[in-house]
Structure 1
Amino acid sequence: MHLPNTISLALSLLLAESALAEYHPCVLIGPDVPIPKAVSSTSAFKDGIVSMKKAIDDAISSGVTSYGDMDASSTSFSLEIYSLHEEEPLYTYHYDAPGLADSTDGVKKIDSDSIYRLGSISKLLTVYTFLATVGDVSFNEPITKYIPELAEYAAQHRGDDEIDFIDWDSITIGSLTSQLSGMPAQLAGSPGTDEALKAGFPPGVPLPVYDPVPENITDTNCPNPYGVPCDRAGILGSINFQHPALAPSWGPSYSNTAYSLLAFALETMTNGSFPDLLTAEVIDPLGLKSTYYSNAPLDQGVVPHNAAISQYTVDILSGGPAGGFYSSTNDMRKIGQAILNSTLLSPAQTRRWLKPLTFTANDGALVGAP
C-alpha cells in the first residue's frame, strides 16, 4: 500500500544526491578585473590585431571562412574596432573588392565616410529611435492600441482560428522589437527566387513564395514591380492576408514587417513621421553626417555593380525601418559609442535594453531587441 510513496522518496533522494554531486559554485557576475582604458597600447591587443588581419587576408585570398564562402571579387566591406575610453578608433580596415572599380555608381575607394546600405542593421536604429523618443513604458501594451486598422481587424476576428488569423490583441510593442510577435517574415506578394533574380538579387538564397498580392494592394501602395516597397496602406492591407508564423510570444520568429509596425506605432504616439523622428532623436543629437532613412547621396555610396542591380537607391517606403537605412563606418562607431555610453538613454534604460529576451534552438544564441 505504501510502495509508491517509498519509490517516490527514493527517487527524490537519488535526484538530490545527483544534483549535489554535479553542483559547481558560480562565480560572481561581472568582470573579474577592472576594464582597461588604454587598450590600444597593450601587447595583447596588438597581437590580436595581427592575428585578425591574417585571418582576413586568408579569407580574401581563399574565399573560405568559418561562416561560409565569400566572393572576394565582389564583396567589399569595412571593419572598425573602438573603445569607449579612446576617442579615435582602435583599428580600421576597408576592403575594396576588385569589382568595385567596375561599378558605374558610387565610390571606387572606400573610407570611413563611405555610405553603405545597412540592411537589417536598420532594425537596431529603429528600436534606438523608439527608445530615444518615448522610452520602453509601452513595451507591454498591445499594438492594437496604436494602429487602429489592426484593432478593427482584431475586433472582427476575435476568437477565430489562431492558425488562420493573427492575434493582434496579444502582440505587444515589446514583442515587435524582439522577434517575438509571431508575425510572418515578409508581406504577401514578396518575391520568389525567380523574381528576385530578375530584380538583381544574388542567387543561392531561396526566398519564400507567398500568396498573390491581394486585389486591394495597388501599385500606388506597393509601387515596386516585385512587391517589396510598400507604404502604410500597402503593409496593413497585405499583412492580414497571411497566417501567423507562431503564437505571439511563443518563441523567436524573424519578421521584417514587425519593425514597420513599430514605426507606425511611434508615429501614432508622437503625431510625427518616423523619418523626421530618426533625424530629430538620433541623427542630429549624435552629429551623424552620413546616416539616412532614404535618398543617401549616390556618389558617396558603396554600390556593387550599379545602383539598378544593387537596388541601392530604391526607396522601400514604410519598409525602411526593417532594412532600408544608410550609414558610414564613422557614423556607426558614433552610434555604438552613444549606446554603450547611454548618451541618449538613461543608464537604467540602456541596461534594460541590452539584455537577451528569448532563447533560440541554438543554446549559444539568444535574441534581444533586436
Structure 2
Amino acid sequence: MFRRIALLLPFLSFLRSSTQALPTDDCPILGPSFPSNFDPSSTTVIRELQSRFPAQLESLLSSGVINRTHTSFSINVFSAVTNSSIFSYHHAAPGLNGSLTAGVLNDDTLYRIGSVSKLLSVYAILVKAGMEIFDHPVTRYLPELAGNAGSDPLERISWEEVTVGALASQLAGTGGMQFLTLMRTRKRPVVPPFETALYSDAGFGILGRVLERLTGLPYADAVQSILFAPLGLNGTSARQPRREGLNAVVLPGSFAESSWGFDNQITAPSGGLYSNTADLRTTGLSILHSALLPPRTTRAWLKPQSQTASLTTTIGAPWEINRLALPVSPSSPRTRISDLYTKLGGQTGYAAVFALSPDHALGFSVLVAGPRAGSARFPLRDAVGEAWVTAAEHAAAENAARNFAGTFVDPSVDGANLTLTVQRDRPGLGLEAWFVRGVDWRANLTYPAAALPVANLSVRLYPTGLVTLSPSSPSLNASAGAAQLSFRAIPLLLPPGPRAAVEGGQGLFDNGCQSWSSVDFWSVDGYGIDEFVFEVAGGRLESVRSLAAGTRMRRID
C-alpha cells in the first residue's frame, strides 16, 4: 500500500538536535538523494528560511560573534535551477564609515577575495588547456625550473616531478610563499610531491606563470580574456579598480591594515583578485552549468584530489571539500554524506568564502571587510552552509514527495505496478513495491534472490545524473517540456551490517555501506535490473520504465 510521509518543517530545528546524529541505516551511492530540478523557492522549507534567516544573522551580530560596528559583510545564496539569488543580505558596519565608495553595500560592491583567487586561476587554466594539463610536469611550461633532479631531496625541489595538477591541488610539497625567482635555487621542499596536501601560496604563483605561458599574456590580462570577459564579470579584476564610479568597500590605512590596492602580480593568482557577490554568483552558475567546460571536465574537477587528517575535509584543485553529514529529513537524527566544495580566502582587512553544492544545484558566497574579517568568515560560513545546504536537502525531499512519489501501473502487462515513497529518516525514493506479472521483483536485486524473505529487504532509488532532454526542453530545469532521468536501485538487507565506531558502530571498519560495489551487478538481456528510467514532464514524474522487465508504468494517483 502506498505511503507518503508528510514532511514537517519547523524552522531550523533540523540544524542541531539533542539526539546524537547517526548515519542512515540505508547505504546510498554518493550523490544527491533526490532530483534538484525544481525552483527551491517553491518549497515551504526554503520560503520559511528566506523569511527567518536574517534573524539568525542578527543574533550573530547582537551576541558579538560578529563585530557589528567594525565588520561589513555580504552574503548571497543562489540556485542553478532559477539562475538567480534565493537569498541576499548585506551588513554595513557603522564603524567603517567612509569605506563605502558609492555609499551603498549591495551585490555589486567590490571586496578583495584573497585565496578565492586560486579557484579562478585554476578555472582559467582548465578553460584554456583542459583537464589533461593536470598530468603535465610544470617544467613543460616553465623549463627554467628544471635542473634540480638528482639534488639532495632535503635541499631542492625536483620540479620535474611536480605536475600542474599537484600545484593546483596543494600536493607539490612547496609550502609557503617565496619569490618566483628563488623557487628553483633556494626554496626548500616541505614534503615530497604527492605526499600529502599542504597549503601553498607559492604553488599558485607558479600556476599564474603557467597561465601566462599558455596565453602569452600577463596574468591579469589572461584571466580577463579567458574568464571575466566571456562570463560578463564586470567587477572582477586582478588590478585595483579605477576610482571613478567605484562601488567598493575600501578600508583605509597602510598595507598592514588594509590590502586594498596591494597589487603584486606575482602573487595575484594566489590571492590578489577583486570581486563581488554578483560576479561570484555568475562564476558559480557557470561551473554548475558547465558553461565554459565540458560537463565531464566539470565532474572531474569537482572531485577530491587528496586527503587530510580530518575525516570531514578533503582537498580538490584547489577546493576545500567539506563532507557534511546532512539530516535526511527535518529533525531527523539520521544523516547522509554530501560534499560541499568551498574555497576560503583572506587578506589584510578582507575575507571570503565561495561554496558550491552540486547535490543541490546550489551555491553561496560570503564577503567580509574589517579588522576582524578573517575570523568573522567562519561563523558566517557555518551559519549559511548549515542553514541553506540542509534546507536544500529537505526542499528536495519535499519536492520529491509532491512530484515523484506515487503509484504507477503498466496496463499492458498483467500485475505490473510500482510504488515510490518519501519517508522520514530515509534518503532517496523508497521502492515500496515492484511487481511484474504478479511477482515481487525487488528480490531480484539481491543475491541469492530465492532465499531472501521480502520482509528483510528495503530498496531505495537514487538519481545517477544521466539525463536525456526532449527537443521541447531547453534544460532539465525548464518548467515545460519533458526529460528522462536515470535512477538506480540500492537494496538493503535488514538488519543492516555494522558501521565503524566513528559512524556510531564498532571497530575500525565499515561493513555496512558497500553499495558502490554492487550497482549494475545483475542484468537481463544486457539491461541492469536496478536501472529505472523516470519520464518527467513539467517537473512531475509521469511514468517509470524498467528495460529489464520490459514495462512502462504510468502514474495513477
Question: Normalization by structure 1: what TM-score?
Answer: 0.74
Please name the residue that 1:266 is paired with.
211
Give yes or no for contact 2:236–2:276 (8 Å, CA) kept in 1.
Answer: yes
Greater relative contact order (Cα 8 A, min sep 6): structure 1 or 2?
1
User: Does 2:168 align with 1:172?
Assistant: no
Aligned residues: 291
Deviation, 1:162, is 1.1
Distance in 1, Cα, partners of 2:314 & 2:258:
31
Give yes or no for contact 2:149–2:159 (8 Å, CA) kept in 1.
Answer: no
Q: Which structure would you say has the larger Rg?
A: 2
CA separation of 1:44 and 1:357: change in aligned 2, threshold 3 A: same
Query: Map of 1:210-359 to 2, 5 A cutoff?
Result: 234-237=179-182, 240-298=185-243, 299-306=246-253, 309-359=257-307
Give yes or no for contact 2:172–2:194 (8 Å, CA) kept in 1.
Answer: yes
Deviation, 1:181, is 0.6
What is the aligned counterpart of 1:78 among 71, 74, 79?
74
What secondary structure sits across from 2:117 in the alignment? helix
What secondary structure sits across from 1:285 in the alignment? helix
Distance in 1, Cα, partners of 2:234 & 2:216:
26
Distance in 2, Cα, partners of 1:77 & 1:300:
14
Distance in 1, Cα, partners of 2:67 & 2:57:
13
Query: Map of 1:14-29 to 2, 5 A cutoff?
Result: 26-29=27-30
CA separation of 1:102 and 1:307: change in aligned 2, threshold 3 A: farther
Query: Map of 1:143-162 to 2, 5 A cutoff?
Result: 143-151=138-146, 155=147, 157-162=148-153
Distance in 2, Cα, partners of 1:81 & 1:162:
46
User: Does 2:34 align with 1:89?
Assistant: no
Deviation, 1:279, is 1.3
Distance in 2, Cα, partners of 1:50 & 1:110:
20
Residue segments in structure 1 that go unaligned for 5+ positions in a row:
1-23, 65-69, 188-233
Distance in 1, Cα, partners of 2:305 & 2:133:
16
Give yes or no for contact 1:100–1:108 (8 Å, CA) kept in 2.
Answer: no
Distance in 2, Cα, partners of 1:167 & 1:52:
51
Question: What is the letter of the counterpart of residue 285 of structure 1?
Answer: P
Give yes or no for contact 1:290–1:328 (8 Å, CA) kept in 2.
Answer: yes
User: Does 2:136 align with 1:183?
Assistant: no
Deviation, 1:238, is 5.3
Please name the residue that 1:35 is paired with.
36
CA separation of 1:293 and 1:283: change in aligned 2, threshold 3 A: same
Deviation, 1:43, is 1.1
What secondary structure sits across from 1:93 in the alignment? strand
Please name the residue that 2:483 is paired with.
none
Residue segments in structure 2 that go unaligned for 5+ positions in a row:
1-24, 319-557
User: Does 2:154 align with 1:163?
Assistant: yes
User: Does 2:110 align with 1:115?
Assistant: yes
Please name the residue that 1:3 is paired with.
none
What secondary structure sits across from 1:310 in the alignment? coil
Deviation, 1:164, is 1.6
Question: What is the letter of the counterpart of residue 149 of structure 1?
Answer: E
Deviation, 1:114, is 0.6
Distance in 2, Cα, partners of 1:147 & 1:36:
44
Distance in 1, Cα, partners of 2:161 & 2:151:
13
Percentage identity across paired residues of the two chains: 34
Question: Normalization by structure 2: what TM-score?
Answer: 0.50
**Considering only aligned residues, what root-mean-square deviation do their CA atoms show, in Å?**
1.9
> Which structure: greater helix fraction?
1
